[in-house]
Amino acid sequence: MKYLLKNDFLRKLLLVNNKDLVIISRFKTEIMKYLNVAEKNDAAKNIAMHLSRGTSRRREGFSKFNKIYEFESEIIGQKCQMVMTSVSGHLLGLEFVSAYKHWQSCNPLSLFDAPVFKHCPENYENIKKTLEREVRSCQGLIIWTDCDREGENIGFEIIEVCTAVKSSLKIFRAKFSEITSVSVWRALQNLAQPNKNISDAVDVRQELDLRIGAAFTRFQTLRLQKVFPATLAQNLVSYGSCQFPTLGFVVERYRAIENFVTEMFWKIKVNHTMNNLSIDFSWERVRLFDQPACQVLHDICMENPQAKVTNVKTKPKSKWRPLPLDTVELEKLASRKLKINAKETMHIAEKLYTQGFISYPRTETNEFPKEMNLGQLVAHQTGDPNWGAFAQNILDSGGPTPRQGNKSDKAHPPIHPTKYASNLSGNEQRLYEFIVRSFLACCSKDAQGQETTVNIEVAREMFSASGLMITARNYLEVYPYDKWSSKEIHVYETGQIFNPTSIDMLEGSTSPPNLLTEADLIALMEKHGIGTDATHAEHIETIKSRSYVTLADAHFVPGVLGMGLVEGYDAMGLALARPHLRAALEADLRAVCEGRKRPDLVLAEQIAKYKEVYLTVTAEANKIDEALAGRLSEQAVEYTPTVETFVSLPPVFKCPKCNSDMIVKQQKNNADKLYISCISFPKCKNAVWLPTIVKTIDVLPESCESCGPNYKKLKFEWRNNSISHMYPPPYIGCIGGCDMTFLELLKVNISTVKNVSGNNRALTTQSNVVTSSNNRNANMIQTNTSVSRQNITNQPRQFVPPPTVNRTQNATNPSISIPTNNNTTNPPRIQTASSTGSGEENNVFCGCNKPAILLTVRKQNANHGKKFYKCPTGLDNGGCDFFLWAPESGENVPNRSETSSSSSGYHSHSTGTWGESSSFPTNDTHQEDNSVMCNCNMPCKRVTVQKEGPNKGRPFYGCSKDFSSRCTFFQWADGETNTEWRGATRGGGGRGVARGAARGAGRGAARGEGAARRCGLCRREGHTRNRCPDA
């Protein structure tokens, strides 16, 4: 027994007692949801209409030009939900990284090897956002782009965007040649896989066009603007590997005309007129370029002027109906017959296609497949008053029998009408009519006739004439674009003798060939493999827009600039204006499409070819100058590019993210702000942001001995003296990580300059100084011992003698002497003293380790007349934001623990802060606790948190020293320990308080146990350091 089960049933077959027991259990299956993406909005609209049978629901996407259509459909009998939307051509564009975008930023030669990346242009971002949003709720993706090379590549751009959001998508390709109900339903039930080979060929072509075009265009433009400032100062002198061969065809024909030498010739013509019918007999010799010889032969004929009929031959004559239309023929015939240029022709054809009136207009095929139902297509046209009767006659005479060509791209049939259109106007109606008439003509029969040829002899010289009688016009009745007229002739018999009416010797001259029409130019491009059927019109428009050629009476004439460029390259012996280089590339691209060649090898080979040509061009550039000088009537200015012509930015080090060069740049909106950026931006966004204290940076040719050859030494100049006591200017150093103190001062994240791996990210420098950090700016220095976060515990502090700074060392290499103590985990401290300029000791230091300046409030308010201490440099000039009220007369200068939080400017972003959770009111009394020792091996002070928050009122221990020399020790007094020290001792007097202390103490405590975990590298919540995207 057979059981027919529906798709939503599960059948289990069990064998029980040698009998089949069929158990059918129904279950609910999840309905698949597919995102469908077409190449244009009109295509998406019409495909959705056919697949939904007119029931699709429209809604808006982020792009107002690309709508979304929702409907239900079936794929191989399975119900599914469909979301149909569209792009607008290519979604992603290929560009150079930012360092190579500006014309003066690099030598054009470097563009052959410069990094490139694909990105979404700003005007297509909304389309991209629509795809990203819609694909999240879908399980499958169906590509409905045009089935040609560009369409396949656009499909892979869509796939790239969608899989970045949802990698588990099932991906399919719909293949169709017309947007009709039958075609799109057939495509939906026969889904295939996208063809990566075809997309790769487009990627290769795009990259080559970008590199070759940019390199030669920049070279030509920058040079010729300098050499011919009066004529070309504002001109873009572009180059393209298809543009120049196209220009070359026009120049070659113009040269042929310009160099043509006219020659005189002579010929003999015999005329026989009878009963008002005149017949001319043509000479078998055609013509002679020797007048005396022709004269002798003419004289002989005149001596015996009788003609004898030697042969009369009558045979059937046919005029072939046109072949099915491919793209090239459509462009050529529209240009010749309709006077519509190729660009407009393709624009109209695209519109007719998306409206469903014609099949896909970009095809190389000129033969209809045998299985195609042409009769149905002919039947659509029977209602037209102009050609309907002819269409009906085709059906009544056995059906369409199209003439077959010999070309097929295996993708699309020839161009043909898909349905009848009666509401078109203008050129749309004219082009649609031409396509219909061409289709009906090729499905009809050849025109038939009878041709009679008569041969005569006059004094042994042979002449002939012919006549034509049309017996059946056939296709000519519907195809007015061809002419075939009858030509009457007298009735002659073999052996008949008659006297000619006249025997004349005529004089003539040879004429040069005509200038190229657009149809002629397209034919030459097709013959030599320049561009594709889809790009011919684009290349022609480009050379017109650049003024390389002009149109005169529908014929192309080269402009003076175009002529000069071609002549200049020809003088070098280069074939840039010949089709050979580009034709070889097109052949390679076809091989990539067919899987016979690897795209990377083709790319490398072609780049090497054009790079070699470029080097020759730059070496002999004066030949272009000489050729153009003769054409432009302007004296060439002497021009020799120097090293300074292009701003070369020397690399500082290799980017740890992508291994590209990192270079020094200025911010666009703030020239005083320097940063080090990856040249691959925006593909790579790694950057080293430098504080405003850095005034200038010069990249030196020497490499750092510690960090290796990829890290160059840098010469720094400071905007103020806040760190001059540690790194006197001009300071020569490195930011590769060999001097962690220097990185800490510049607030440089180590991960932006060096690859950092491992959970504790411990880095060992050349001087055996090991650092450990769990945030961007805080690092710890310890000698001869690797310290991780887990090693920091609340242990008894042991005294460590402060290190000393050798002030007499070379300014480019400051030395910090740090004694080693392997029995302690406490970091070393650096202390110093300073005096005021008056000689009076000043024990108030700002966060920059400078004697604070004493100022008086001048503003009329409650604090008028009060004195306060402030950083002498100021935050805007690279200093700190230190602020402290001065004591009243008779009082001593308070230390940090006696300073009000409301009056102290020693904030969390200043060096040496306690953290956000602590506050010190002036009326609070602090107790020293000899049982708890700080990092300085001194009794701690017991302080109470006054700031509003979860820790308000909670006591803790801190260093009892003055804020200018205080260490970063912190411990809760209620028994819960938090003594982790995350700061870094900075070599220099009084700057031993680290920025990381705030995070290690008050901030961590104030956040509480329930707070979200932060990454130890980037400080963002939601992940840990071993999963950090910046790692």
Q: What are the residues facing 307 on neighbouring strands? A: 498
Q: How far apart are CA 814 and CA 807, in angstroms?
A: 8
H/E element, 939: strand 939-944
Residue 653 tokens read as 């080090």
Answer whether 637's CB lies under 8 Å from 229's CB.
yes
- From the list 100, 239, 360, 906, the catalytic residue is 360
CA end-to-end span of the chain: 64
Spacing of C-alpha 540 from chain mean position: 24
Answer whether 44's CB lies under 8 Å from 69's CB.
yes
Q: Say which residues have a Cβ less than 8 Å from residue 704's Cβ, sequence separation at least 6.
A: 711, 712, 713, 734, 736, 738
Residue 254 tokens read as 């113009």
**Strands across the sheet containing 939-944:** 927-933, 939-944, 955-958, 970-972
Residue 98 tokens read as 């930012």
Q: How far apart are CA 912 and CA 933, in angstroms?
A: 19
Q: Say which residues have a Cβ less than 8 Å from residue 253's Cβ, sequence separation at least 6.
A: 513, 515, 516, 556
The secondary structure of residue 123, as a DSSP letter, is: G
Distances (CA, A) of 608 to 240, 550, 579, 585: 16, 34, 18, 12
Nearest to 173 by CA among 203, 205, 197, 151: 151
Answer whether 851's CB lies under 8 Å from 844's CB.
yes
Backbone angles phi, psi at 811, to 5 degrees: -60, -25
The secondary structure of residue 461, as a DSSP letter, is: E
Q: Say which residues have a Cβ less than 8 Å from residue 742's Cβ, sequence separation at least 6.
A: 727, 733, 735
Which residue in this structure is represented by tokens 């001109």?
A: 235
Backbone angles phi, psi at 1028, to 5 degrees: -70, 130
Q: What are the residues facing 497 on neighbouring strands? A: 308
Q: How far apart are CA 1013 and CA 1026, in angstroms?
A: 13
Reduce the DSSP state of residue 117 to 3 states and report it.
strand
Nearest to 727 by CA among 711, 709, 712, 715: 715
Backbone angles phi, psi at 565, to 5 degrees: -65, -45
H/E element, 280: strand 277-283
Q: What are the residues facing 678 on neighbouring strands? A: 662
Answer whether 67's CB lies under 8 Å from 85's CB.
yes
Q: How far apart are CA 939 and CA 394, in angstroms?
A: 111
* Cα 942–Cα 945–Cα 950 angle in degrees, nearest 5: 135
Sequence-distant contacts of 674-677: CB under 8 A, at least 24 apart: 676/652, 676/735, 677/98
Q: Examine the residue annotation and report whether 479 is marked as an active-site residue of this protein.
A: no
765 by Cβ neighbours in 10 Å (0-12 / 13-18 / 19+) ranks as middle
Nearest to 760 by CA among 768, 752, 770: 770
Q: How far apart are CA 530 and CA 592, in angstroms?
A: 17
In single-letter form, the type of residue at position 661 comes to D
Distances (CA, A) of 701 to 697, 715, 728, 737: 13, 11, 21, 18
**Strand 57-59 to strand 32-38: parallel, antiparallel, or no bridges (unpaired)?**
unpaired
Bond prior to 682 in cis (omega within 30° of 0): yes
Q: Which residues are known to be catalytic? A: 360
